[in-house]
Structure 1
Amino acid sequence: MVSLSMSNQAPGVTALRSSARVLRLCFVEARPAVLAVSTLRFMTGAVLALPVSPVPEPAKVLQGATAWVLSIFAIYLLNGVTDVTEDRVNGSGRPIARGDLAPRTAATVAAVAAVLSIAATAGLPPVLTWIVGLNLVLGYLYSGPPFHLKSGSTGTVMVLCASGLLSYWGGLTAVTGGQSLSTPTGLIVFAVAATCWMTFVGVPAKDLSDIEGDAAAGRRTIAVTCGERRSRHFMYVAALTLAAALGVAVVFFRVPLAGVCLAMLAGTVAVIAAGRSAAKGGSDQQRRPYRAFMVTQHLVHITALISNI
């Protein structure tokens, strides 16, 4: 009887383990670091909205953050499905590129996650449903046929800017309950600076290590069209300009973001140092500017959260 019971349970256990493995691989494909910083963006938008907001419901804010991150999960999973060619040429170690996760399976999980992200906004302000839905549309325009806006730098910058600003708007909406309250100046300054950092520093930083694969896939990134050297210099100028502009804005508008200024300045130094190192090294060193950029993203948001909680 015991053997029969174990035999009956085996298929269910096997299916459960297989499903867990697929979800784990999808999580890795969607890039945990991106999911983490996406959560930080939403929560920073919520925290910086507190000066003009009534006391928020923590459960509602967490629900909104969950809906937002599910949409980002769906978007980056679809991106992995459509990036197979360039990822394999670039030697990516993500599950789809290395053959551990079937693109069709990943696409199915992405579709389910997209539906869940909309469903997760139930009971929240209707505006938040529109924010999550618009983010999903942008994600599809970026990666999906026939648009593939990722193929050029202009489309990439447009989508990333819009998605970045939506994340902070989502946090603001979750805290204010969708009420038409004035947006704090500190949130506006931070959202613009952080979004510009993501696009004008992050895009060239990522492109530096992906030139071969992007060219093979027919993508017209800054690094492909202008060359590695010019792309690195653009990244340097963008980082320095943003760090300086943020400092000026903080002083001019008198917003409590001095710590954020220091974090971005430190990140600027790190990105430039990593870029100079990458110019002399191989493919692994070419990833250093992007890693420095990503660490700075996390540091800037964590600093803003700690300073304003």
Structure 2
Amino acid sequence: MIKKILVGISSCLMGENVRYNGGNKRLDFAVDELARYIDFQMICPEMAIGLGTPRPTIRLVQLENKVELRFSEDNGEDLTKRMEEFAKQKVASLEHLCGYIVCAKSPSCGMERIKIYNERNEGFQSNGVGLFTKQLLEMMPWLPVEENGRLNDAALKENFIERVFALHELNVLRESGLTRAKLIGFHSRYKYTLLAHSQPKYRELGLFVANIADWGSLEDYFIAYRNQFMSLLACCATKTNHTNTLMHIQGYFKKKLTLRQKEELTQLIALYRQGVQPLLAPITLLKHYLAEYPDEYLAQQSYFNPYPEALRLRYGY
């Protein structure tokens, strides 16, 4: 039986009635689609620190040089210490996760643009981060973290899922016992995936891999590599980078395809670059040619199958 990938998620996004108003913010993509491949670890920080449901609303408040978490009513109880202590303790136990989906706009779970009110609870600025998610991002900088609202964007959704599955593979490699050969092989498998995200950063990471023999501890090397690898993947792939990657792969077949086949592939890549065809179209044709003209190096590239095809993430852009 294949072990499912473990991903953290705000409980309300799984349909749990834990919000301040006794309701939820069910994320259909997680419950109806991702749950086939992923085991979700549900966490509601507000319930975890003893707040019931329904409950008074809470907010971030700027007091001198410190942002505090307080109930929204005037002079509301300060919940900052309770939330920070819980977050630090909980996040320290989450290294097994391969991703995390947080609830947008939440003063505990929001990832960005959270309202921070002034001491008089009048004006606000939208540049805060939920206190739990703040600890998550600081303590696990390599972890793919995304908000439910941002997952409505096709490119951001694909980027997040790609990172989740890549981190899972990297974690499985670590659990199997680290060797230089395994780490170099992993990096080689992700060549075209990384090129589609950032060519300059791919070259930088390549130099880091080339110096693996200089590291006395493979565990220390793994941690440093993981941080750089996941940081690179966090850069969203672009049409320009995908086009260059597709053309690079096309070069493997230049001596095998007929003139008509070459023209068809070139035209399909051009249509993708122009936004007429989705990324899936040229990749499907390349996979067809790969089946017809096998190449061992290309066949093991993650670029062709970064996650289950049934998720249909390459249809929308």
TM-score past 0.5 threshold: no
The structure showing larger relative contact order (alpha-carbon pairs under 8 Å, at least 6 residues apart) is 1
TM-score by length of 2: 0.28
Q: Which has the larger radius of gyration?
A: 2
Q: TM-score, normalised by structure 1?
A: 0.29
Q: Is the helix fraction higher in 1 or 2?
A: 1
